[in-house]
Amino acid sequence: MKFSEEQVKEIVALKENLIEQIDTHQESIEKLEKNIAVLDSFLIGSSFTKASQLKTKTVVQNEPKIIEKPIENSIPIKRGNDGKIIANAYITPEQVSIILDNDIEISVETPPFKSFFLDRIIGEMKKKDTVEAENGKIQKESVIDYIINKNGSDIREIIIKNYRQKERVNELINTAGWSLTRMLENINK
């Protein structure tokens, strides 16, 4: 069976459309999986666990820090362009810990870490919390804050304390992923 040139063009267009739909749905599926992982983390964090049953441990051996956490409680943060896992997020009721993969070496100075992630995202949350603390809605100790653990100038872990609102977790994880992806692109230019 031979197809006309017009039919071949239509088939090619149909194929391209199907590929685009698959890509769109794949992105949606990945977002849904992230949301489920976040919800699982909250459910795990809100259930009672005896201290003797906790699996999370931190091992520090001189430098660099070796941090071990259970994979099942982690939310992978993937590089935007190829989906490679570049970090894992661990959520407790008190904090979000983003631990970079050991192969990832990026400095705190690499843009857009300070200008976007720290100043714009966390900084804006901190401004809102500070206003609420000044108005007596929350205590000063409940204002969002962060700690950056480094090995030399390389980021190893980002700890965000007092995120307070579950809605902030998705924003923090998504913007961390975006920022880390851009930072990796900037050092590979």
Write the pLDDT tens digit of every residue in 38-49: 666 655 555 444
> pTM for this one?
0.61
The answer to whether residue 81 scores a pLDDT higher than 80 is no
Q: Give the separation between CA 96 and CA 60, rounded to whole angstroms.
A: 19
CA dihedral for 147, 152, 153, 156, sign (positive or negative): negative
Q: What is the DSSP letter of 180?
A: H
Residue 100 bridge partners (DSSP): 87
- Per-position b or e across 75-108, b if 16+ CB within 10 A of its CB: bbbbbeeeeeebbbbbbeeebbbbbbeeebbbee
The answer to whether residue 3 scores a pLDDT higher than 70 is yes
Q: Report yes or no: 77 and 157 within 8 Å, Cβ to Cβ.
A: no
Lowest mean pLDDT among 57-71, 121-135, 147-161: 57-71
The answer to whether residue 50 scores a pLDDT higher than 80 is no
Distances (CA, A) of 186 to 7, 18, 127, 172, 181: 44, 33, 28, 21, 9
If DSSP codes are grouped into helix, strand and coil, which group holds residue 47?
coil
Q: Averaged over 87-110, what is the pLDDT?
A: 91
* Helix residue spans in the chain (DSSP H): 5-46, 123-134, 166-187
Rg (CA), the chain: 21
Mean pLDDT of the chain: 80
Per-residue confidence (pLDDT) for residue 88, from 0 to 100: 93
Write the pLDDT tens digit of every residue in 108-139: 999 999 999 999 999 999 999 999 999 999 89
Q: Averaged over 19-23, what is the pLDDT?
A: 83
Per-residue confidence (pLDDT) for residue 134, from 0 to 100: 93
